[in-house]
Amino acid sequence: MHGAAGRMGQRILSLALAPDAGFSVQGGIDRQTGSLRSLNLPSDAPVLAALPVAPGTVVIDFSHHSCLPAVAEHCARHGMPLVSGTTGVDPAVLEPALDAAAVRIPVVHAHNMSVGVNVLLATAATLARTMGPDYDIEIVEAHHNQKKDAPSGTALAIADSILAATGRTRADLVDGRSGITGARPKGQIGMHALRLGDIVGDHTVYFVGGGERILLGHVAHHRDIFAQGALRAARFVAGARPGRYTMAQVLGLG
């Protein structure tokens, strides 16, 4: 587990260490070294400062965005399948790193690994395609006040699914609005980020036009939905051929 001391890392490890989970946890990677017991987890597996060489071992990565290229390169060089939910990575850095790794290992990277969110992504694309260009689309996300990136990776994934379905690009996105903005340009998608208290994750997509409004939303009640998805992805890559895979493929959504 790369990023073992983080909130997601600890939840993933806790679920993976359950007696009926079916995983063999080899250890964690983080700045705080020692053993998993130092993180209040029931295992003497080590917490190391750097990834070991362990061919065939699946690496789950929920760490700082600056680490991902090096993690992907290490995993590819040593034959270690990779599952990453790290967000906030510049696409110009993320995509080449994952593409290069996927030549040698199976790779799953997703901004959100919950089943519900991945159903939402598919539904948002279908709605955008069906409603057509006369419907305005806005995406609003809310997260806890400690989240470091905005808009959230999940909000961007929702936007990307809509953009792909309607032939638009990220040039059509705008992050909030301020001042005298003028009339809303046709085809623009607004992205709005709220940071409040201990919210795990709320996402709402508005489709408005023709005298009606459709709201498509997802609310995460706890982080275990993401941890469970990451473990499903780990099982998937453990038996997959080299290549890049989506959570839709992991979950059999097509």
Residue 132 in tokens = 């057509």
Instruction: Report the alpha-carbon distance of residue 136 to residue 128 in Å, rounded.
Output: 9
Axis crossing angle, helix 115-131 with helix 224-238, rounded to the nearest 10: 90
Q: Are strands 243-245 and 46-48 parallel, antiparallel or unpaired?
A: unpaired
What's the residue count for the chain? Answer: 254
Candidate list 111, 143, 192, 203, residue with the active-site label: 143
Catalytic status, residue 186: no
Residue 218 bears catalytic tag:
no
The Cβ of residue 239 has, within 10 Å, a number of other Cβ atoms equal to 8
Q: Which residues of 87-121 are buried (b: 16+ CB within 10 A; e: fewer)?
A: bbbeeeebeebbeebbeebbbbbbbbbbeebbebb
DSSP-derived pairing of the beta strands 201-209 and 136-143: antiparallel
Q: Hey, which residues are catalytic here?
A: 143, 147
